[in-house]
Amino acid sequence: MAAKLIDGKAFASRLRARVGEAARRFEAAAGRPAGLAVVLVGADPASEVYVGAKGKATREAGMASFEHRLPAETPEGELLALIERLNADPAVDGILVQLPLPKHMDEAAVIAAIDPGKDVDGFTTESAGRLATGLAGFVPCTPLGCLMLLKDHLGDLSGFDAVVIGRSNIVGKPMAQLLLAESCTVTVAHSRTRDLQSLVRRADIVVAAVGRAEMVKGDWLKPGATVIDVGINRLPPADGEAKARLVGDVDFASASEAAGAITPVPGGVGPMTIAVLLRNALVAAHIHAGLRLEEEL
């Protein structure tokens, strides 16, 4: 393997430690812990795992975790009423509604109900608009985590050619906005893109957020490119193994021969998402309490 491994797990654990220290200072100064509310509707197994992990990480960082689990058949009005209560609750600095929501709910309406000042996921139109226009605001956790890894590895990103594969509101679009704000030349590729391979071939930075196992091959890459693999795909167990295999959107074996640096799956982008969520919640808490963060997180 020629590529340097970008160790998101280690980076995330350092970020979580810094957030933990800042959370202790916050509690001493504000007279209350920072608080993060997580709402789960229904019992999607992957969402259950994420929500459990978020609650645990919140408590480990010394913040208050408020977990609300509602049955799948909850009427939308009840969820909106809960969000209103959380918006008004001074102990709650951040609100996260775990997606996807059950089919009978209007996801856009639910997200719109979240107070933009507590939108630690960065999914409201206010947050998206702020990001697009270069104003300070909450940025979705996964792409912000990717940016942190890129800057840690490459330093100044200005002038780099970046290709983002995927245009979701959660990953692809905010990732492209962040890279643009860092003065990269950004191309956003998606399911209708023609000749994806030759776009990828030009890129110094490739961020793959597609949801297709091992789609990006090593021979697509410009030699030495930096590759950030956001994908989380479960493949059936390999011969002789009991557990499902977790792979990214990048074919790690071939890509790690061509890339200059690459994030593994698992252990790359995944651990960054929760660490950035905690960071966003602590930033929100400081704004609510009128306190300044002593160091940038």
Catalytic residues: 54, 98, 121
Q: How many angstroms from the chain centroid is the CA of residue 2?
A: 27
DSSP string, 167-205: --TTTHHHHHHHHHHTT-EEEEE-TT-S-HHHHHHH-SE
Instruction: Please report, to the nearest 10 degrees, the dihedral formed by the alpha carbons of residues 183, 286, 20, 52 taken in order.
Output: -90
Q: Are 80 and 70 a contacting pair, CB within 8 Å?
A: no
Q: Supply the minimum distance, in Å, between the C-beta of residue 193 and ligand NAD.
A: 5
What do you get for the CA distance between the two ends of the chain, in Å?
32
Of the pair 186, 209, the CB lying nearest ligand NAD is at 209
Q: Where are the alpha helices (DSSP H) in 229-269?
A: 252-258
Of the pair 65, 273, the CB lying nearest ligand NAD is at 273
Of the pair 74, 193, the CB lying nearest ligand NAD is at 193
Of the pair 37, 189, the CB lying nearest ligand NAD is at 189
The strand order across the sheet containing 35-41 reads: 64-70, 35-41, 94-97
Q: Residue 26 burial (CB < 10 Å; 0-12/13-18/19+)?
A: buried
Q: How far apart are CA 153 and CA 278, in angstroms?
A: 22
Q: Supply the minimum distance, in Å, between the C-beta of residue 47 and ligand NAD.
A: 12
Pairing of strands 226-229, 205-208: parallel
Q: Supply the minimum distance, in Å, between the C-beta of residue 23 and ligand NAD.
A: 22
Q: How far apart are CA 272 and CA 282, in angstroms?
A: 15
Of the pair 62, 143, the CB lying nearest ligand NAD is at 143
Q: Which residues bind ligand NAD (CB under 6 A)?
A: 142, 165-168, 170-172, 189-191, 193, 196, 209-212, 230-233, 269-270, 273
Q: Supply the minimum distance, in Å, between the C-beta of residue 167 and ligand NAD.
A: 4
Structure tokens at 288: 């609510």
Q: Supply the minimum distance, in Å, between the C-beta of residue 52 and ligand NAD.
A: 15
